[in-house]
C-alpha cells in the first residue's frame, strides 16, 4: 500500500488526494478489512492522514522506507520511458 500511495502521489503531483478505502481495496485486490488495518497503521505511524475519503501524505520519506524496493525501480523506469521525473511534493 505504501508503494501504491507514493505512485498515486507522484502521478497526481500532490500529497493530498481523494481515495476511499473501498476503492483502494478494489485496486489492490485485498479485503477492505486489510485496507482499514493498513490505513490505521500508517496513520498511527504519522505517515498519512485519512479523513472521509481524503488521504494526505505526511511523511513521504517514511513511506519510501517501508515500501518495497520495487517503488524506486518503477520510478526509474517511468523516468527512462517518459523522460521526465514527477514533481514529488
Please report, for the chain, the start and end positions of each structural domain, with discontinuous segments joined by +.
2-82
CA distance 47 to 58: 5
Cβ neighbour number for residue 21 with a 10 Å cutoff: 17
* Predicted pLDDT of residue 71: 82
Instruction: Give me the CATH topology for the region 2-82.
Output: Arc Repressor Mutant, subunit A (1.10.10)
Per-residue pLDDT for 22 more than 60?
Answer: yes
Residue among 21, 10, 31 at smallest CA distance from 54: 21
Residue 49 phi, psi (nearest 5): -115, 140
CB of 6 closer than 8 Å to CB of 84? no
Mean pLDDT of the chain: 90
Beta bridge partners, 56, equal: 16, 49
Q: What does the pLDDT average to over 2-30? A: 93
Grade residue 88 by pLDDT with cuts at 50, 70 and 90.
low
Q: What does the pLDDT average to over 7-15? A: 92
Amino acid at each position: 500500500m505504501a508503494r501504491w500511495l507514493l505512485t498515486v502521489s507522484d502521478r497526481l503531483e500532490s500529497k493530498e488526494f481523494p481515495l476511499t478505502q473501498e476503492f483502494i481495496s478494489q485496486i489492490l485486490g485485498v479485503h477492505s478489512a486489510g485496507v482499514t488495518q493498513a490505513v490505521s497503521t500508517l496513520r498511527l505511524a504519522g505517515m498519512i492522514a485519512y479523513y472521509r475519503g481524503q488521504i494526505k501524505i505526511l511523511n513521504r520519506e517514511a513511506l519510501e522506507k517501508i515500501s518495497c524496493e520495487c517503488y524506486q525501480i518503477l520510478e526509474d523506469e517511468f523516468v527512462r520511458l517518459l523522460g521526465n521525473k514527477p514533481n514529488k511534493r
